[in-house]
Chains A and B, each alone.
Chain A
Amino acid sequence: MLCGTPIPRTGFMGRMATVRLLPACLLLLSCRFASASSPTSIFDPAATPAHSIFTLSMLVLSVTLAIFLIVAGLLVYALIRFRQRPSDSEHEPAQIYGSNQIELSWTVIPILIVVMLFLTTTRVVWETEAANKPAAAVDVIVIGHQFWWEYRYPKLGIVTANELHIPTSDPRNPSPTYLEMSSADVSHSFWIPRLAGKMDLIPNRKNTMWVDPPEAGLYLGQCAQYCGTQHAKMLLRVQADSPSDFAAWVKKQQQIPAREIVGNPLAQEGRATFLRTACMSCHTVAGTSANGRFGPDLTHLADRDTIGSGPIKNTPENLRKWIADPNEMKPGSLMPSMHLNDHDLDTITAYLTTLH
C-alpha cells in the first residue's frame, strides 16, 4: 500500500477530491461567520435549554466530522490509488469476497460510537424535559391561532398577544418561564432558537417547555409548523425584561383603559364605533363590552412594536391600512376587511393608538 502518494490537485481525481472537500470547508467557515450576524442562530445560545443543545451539538458535530474525514479520506485514497492506469495489465485484480474479522470490526466500532452518542443525548433529553420546576417560575399559557399567538398569565391576570414578555432568570436563584402550550385550531410550533428547541402547539393537547434567559433583550423566532396560508408571517417576539422592568410591565398590563379618553374626541368617537361594529365580537379590550376571543386581545395594543404578529411595524399608518384590508398586508389572514369608510378608519385608528 502506497503511503506517500500525494493527492493530485490536477487531473480528474484531484478535481473530485477538491469538489468533495471544498464545500465542507466553505460550510464550516460560513457557519462561524454567519452565526455572528443572525438574531436566530442556534449557535448563539442565550438560555439553559439552548446552551445544553449547543454543547451536545458540538459533540455530535465533532464525532460526525471525524467519521466523515476518516471515511471520506479512505475513499479518496482508494479512488486514486486503485484507479485503472494505462500501464495496467489486462488481468482482473484479485477477487476478494469478504472477511469476517473486518466485518466484525466495522460493526462493533460503530455500535460503540452509537452507544456513546446515545448516552450523552439521553442525558440532555432528560435534563431538559424532566427538569425540576422552581417555585419562582412564571407560568404562561400559550395558545396558537391561525396566524397569531395568544399569551395568558393565569397567576397575574394578564392576557396579551404576539409579543411575549418574560423576566430574566438569575442562575443563582432561577425564575424560569414555563410555557404551557396548546392550539385553538391547527398545529403550530414555538421556536426561538437562541432560547430553546422548539415545541409544537397541538389542539387538544398540552405541551410544556421552559426558558430562562439571564440577559435582558429581544429574542426572535417564528412559527415552525406549517399551519396554513400565513404560516410564514406568524412571527415570534420574546422580550426578556429585568425583574424590575418585568414587574413594571405586568403592572401596566393589569391596568384597564379609562372609559373617557381625555382631550381626544377622535379617539373617543373611535371607541364608540369600535364597540358598535363587529370588532368587539372578535377582539377583547378590558373594561369594555368587547370580549371576543377569536382575534388577539387589543387592550394594550399601542405598547406593541408590531402588528399582524410581527411582520408589520406598529405605526398609525400601518394600523389604518391593516384595518382597512388585512388581506392586502397579510393575504390569507383570517381577519376580514370591515369595509369601513375613511372617517371610521381614522377614528378607530386614533382610538387604538391610545390603548397603552
Chain B
Amino acid sequence: MATSTRALEAIDVTDPSARPPGPGLVYQWLTTVDHKKIGLMYIVYALLFLVIGGVQAMLMRIQLAVPNNHFIGPQTFNRLFTVHGTTMIFFVAVPVLFGFGNYLIPLMIGARDMAFPRLNAFSFWLSAFGGVLLYLSYFAGSGLYGAGSAPDVGWFAYAPLTSKVFSPGHSTDYWTLAVLLSGVGTTGTAVNIVATAFCMRCKGMTLMRMPLLVWLYIVASCMVFVAVSPLTTAQIMLCLDRYLGSHFFDTQAGGSAVLWMHFFWIFGHPEVYILILPTFAFINEIVPVFSRKAIFGYPAMVAASVGIGFVSLSVWAHHMFTVGMGPAGNTFFVFSTMVVSVPTGIKVFNWLATIWGGKVIYRVPMLFSVAFLFQFLVAGLTGIMLSAAPFDWQLSASYFVVAHFHYVIVGGILFSLFAAFYYWYPKMTGRMMSERLGKWHFWLFVIGFHLTFDFMHIPGLLGMPRRIYTYEAGRGWELWNFIVGVGAFVQGVATLIFVYNLVQSYFRGKEAGPDPWDAWTLEWATTSPPPDYNFAIEPTATSARPLWDLKHPEDQDSSYE
C-alpha cells in the first residue's frame, strides 16, 4: 500500500529568541495546554510521589527487619502499605507513563500537539488533585480509629472491610475518591492518545510506519477504556453502599464480597498491563538505537502487543484462585493466564533478535534496558509459576507474590523508566545527563534491587503472608526480611543520586543538540528542547525510521517496505 518514496531533506529552522516574552512562569505552567509542558508536569509530579512512596516502603522495611518489632504500630503500618500501594500505582506509575506518552507521541508522529489540548490539561489537573486528596487524608483529623485518617484497607480495598461497619469514618472515602479522580483523568488522557494517534499523524505516516511506542500507547489506552471503568463503577457502588445504604457488597443483605473482587481485578489486572505496555514502548525505541539495528519483526511486535491487550482482559481471576471459584473456574483462568505469556515471550525474543548481530553500545539508557530484559524475564517466569493455580494456593497473598509484582514494577517498569529518562532527558531539556552519575545510579540500584526483591521470594516460600506489621520469631523469616531491608536503603541512595543527576544536569549538563544518540524517529528531527510548535515544517514519513532514511540515502528502510 505505501509507495516507496525517497526521503528528502529540508532544513527546519527554530528561532526562539524572536518570540516575545510571555506571561509569568507560574501562570504559564498553570494554564498551559502544551503537551510537552503537561508531560513534564506529570513526570515531576510522579517523581515527587515516587520519593514519598519510597520513604513509606523504607519505614515498612525497618519495622519488618526484625520479628516483633515496635518501630511502628499496626494502625500506622496498615495505613502505610495501603497508601504506598495506592500512591505507587495511581500517582507514580500512571502519571509518569502517561506523562512520557504525552510528551513523545505528538513529536513522534510529526504533529503539533495532542488532539484535545484542553482535555489534556484538565486530565492532568484532575489526576493531580486525586493525589493531593489521598494525602490530605493524613491531615484530615484524628479521633476514632479510622475516622478521618489515611485509608488502611489495602490498595485493593476488599469488601466488606471497606463497608461503613468495618471502616467507620472517612479514611476509605479518601481512597475511593482519590482513585476515582485519577481514573477519570487517565481515561481522558487515553481518549486523547487514541484520537491523536489516529487523527494527527503527519503525511506519509501510515499506521505501520508509526514508532512502536505509539502502537503500544494506543493498545494501553484502549485497555484503559475497558479496564478503568469497572474500577470507577465499583467505587461508585462502594460510595452508594457507604452513604446511601445500598447493598452492592453488603454481605448481611445477601450481597457478595466476591463481586467486589471480580470488579476490582477486572480493572486491576489489565491495569498492570496498561503499565507494562508503555514500558515495552520505551524498550522498543531504546534497544534498537543502542544495538544500531532496526527492531526485529515490527509487524509481529504490533500483533503481540494487540494480542497482549486482548488476552490480558481475560486473566483477572488468577488473583482469586483461593476464593473458591471451583475447579472449572480455576481451570479457565489458569489457561488464559498461561496463554498471555506467549505474546509476551514473543516480545522478549524479538528484543533478543534485535540485539543479535547488532553493535551494542553500553551507554546508561542501554544499561537500564539490559537489566530490564533479564529482570522482566524472571518476573514473567515467576508469573508463570503463579499461574499454576495449586502453586498459587500456597503462594497467593504471600511475600512471593509481593516479590513477583515488585520484580515486574520495579525491575521491569522502573528500570525501563530510568532508561527512558536518560534517553529523552536531552530532548526535553537540551542537556545530557551525567554518564558517571548514571552508572553509579545504575549499579547501586541493581545491587539494591536484587538484594531486596530476589531474597523477598524466600519468606513467601516459607509461609510469610503479606500485609502483616510484624511476625513471630522462629518461622525462618528473620534473615531474609533483614536483607530485604538493607536492599531498600541501597535503592534509596541510588534514587537520590538519580534525582541529583536530574537537577544537576539541567544546569551543568553537556549541550545535547537535536540528536545526541544518532536515533531514527521524528522527535530527534527537531531541536532540544523542541519549540512550542514542535516542527516548523510538517515532516513526511517514508518509513518507520524517517531519520534512518535521511542518514542512509543509499539504504533507506522505505525500499524494504
Contact = CB atoms under 8 A, between A and B. Distances in A.
Interface stretch (B14-22, B184-192, B269-277, B287-295): B287-295
A82 B296 contact: no
A88 B359 CA distance: 9
A214 B382 CA distance: 31
Interface in A33-68: 34-35, 37-43, 50, 52-53, 56-57, 60-61, 64, 67-68
A199 B324 contact: yes
Given A41-B463, A186-B160, A205-B258, A332 B345 contact: no
B447 interface: yes
A212 interface: no
Contacts of B152: 229
B132 interface: no
Given A16-B370, A27-B454, A221-B463, A38 B476 contact: yes
B199 interface: no
Contacts of B555: 95
Interface residues of B, number: 105
Contacts, number: 309
B245 interface: no
Nearest to A45: B394
Contact of B381 (A67, A199, A200): A67
B468 A128 contact: no
B384 interface: yes
Contacts of A122: 331, 334
B324 A202 contact: yes
Interface residues of A, number: 101
Contacts of A229: 74-75, 78, 145, 152
Interface string B315-334: 00000001110110011001
B391 interface: yes
B395 A42 contact: yes
A325 to B, nearest CB: 15
B389 A121 contact: yes
Contact of B324 (A26, A30, A103, A205): A205
A126 B327 contact: yes
Given A95-B555, A231-B467, A30 B455 contact: yes
Given A98-B297, A185-B166, A200 B454 contact: no
B2 interface: no
Contacts of B475: 38-40, 220
Given A78-B352, A98-B298, A226-B154, A125 B330 contact: yes
B141 interface: no
A96 interface: yes
A334 to B, nearest CB: 11
Interface string A65-105: 00110011011001100111000100011111111001100
A299 interface: no
A319 B294 CA distance: 72
A153 to B, nearest CB: 21
B469 interface: yes
A220 B476 CA distance: 13
Contacts of B324: 199-200, 202, 205, 207-208
Contact of B161 (A106, A121, A187): A187
Nearest to B323: A200
Contact of B346 (A38, A103, A185): A103
A334 B387 CA distance: 37
A2 to B, nearest CB: 12
B177 interface: no
Contacts of A220: 463, 475
A210 interface: no
A225 B446 CA distance: 31
Contact of B334 (A82, A121, A130): A121
A186 B350 CA distance: 46
Contacts of A222: 465, 468
29 contacts: A24-B378, A27-B455, A30-B480, A31-B458, A38-B477, A40-B463, A57-B385, A75-B352, A75-B373, A83-B360, A96-B353, A98-B298, A107-B346, A114-B341, A118-B335, A128-B390, A129-B326, A129-B330, A185-B160, A186-B161, A193-B462, A196-B393, A203-B252, A224-B398, A225-B158, A226-B397, A229-B78, A311-B472, A332-B75
Interface of A: 12, 16, 19-20, 23-24, 26-27, 30-31, 34-35, 37-43, 50, 52-53, 56-57, 60-61, 64, 67-68, 71-72, 74-75, 78-79, 82-84, 88, 92-99, 102-103, 106-107, 110-111, 114, 117-118, 121-122, 124-126, 128-130, 146, 185-187, 189, 191, 193, 196-200, 202-205, 207-208, 220-233, 235, 310-311, 331-332
